[in-house]
Structure 1
């Protein structure tokens, strides 16, 4: 079984990439805080490469940007390629099947980067058109 569900914040503004086949995709990095503190008392963050295709990618780019909170569901894929110097590069990413928008570009632009979300914002989702499929929140 290869199933992944993650909730985190997008680290950079998104761009849509169109391939020669006509398919579109977006790649992004999701910052996910761990649920525990390390030996120094700090909460560590994992940065996970994600990829999404088609209409879901178009909706993600339209409604989300840097700092947007999203839930993703998909599977882990690995790929590799060889550089000119003959060294191999391995890439592991989550290919997203479903994405749930938990905050939007407009919600993030209302707050500065250092401001925590209000209690109202953290208790309810922003009104954003969902993708074709919704991610169940566990």
Structure 2
């Protein structure tokens, strides 16, 4: 059974900007996962690292979406860990994709700091972490 709370700070996590964050994370969860599934199933041998990173990014976005949707202490922790991994991932993969383009012959969600997605993957974890911090108990 999902953990529910009637505390104002828990309710605020899923209201206003929190709902927009939930929507954006949900869209990225779907798009990154679908992209990875297509890439892995059609031409995995061309760029296995990039495609596995796309799949990992999809899992991170799914996890963040679930954390934001669940709320409460457990959901907040899931979202916090997910957004932190997302931030590290986009910074590390973004840097590596520029420094070693040969290792990334095809783009991932986090390649070039999310340039293929309008740099939203670079900005989103900062907003997510700020939102979680702002609504901490």
Q: What TM bracket, shorter-length normalisation?
A: under 0.3
Which one has the largest radius of gyration?
Answer: 1
**Structure with the bigger percentage of strand:** 1
TM-score by length of 2: 0.23
**Structure with the bigger percentage of helix:** 2
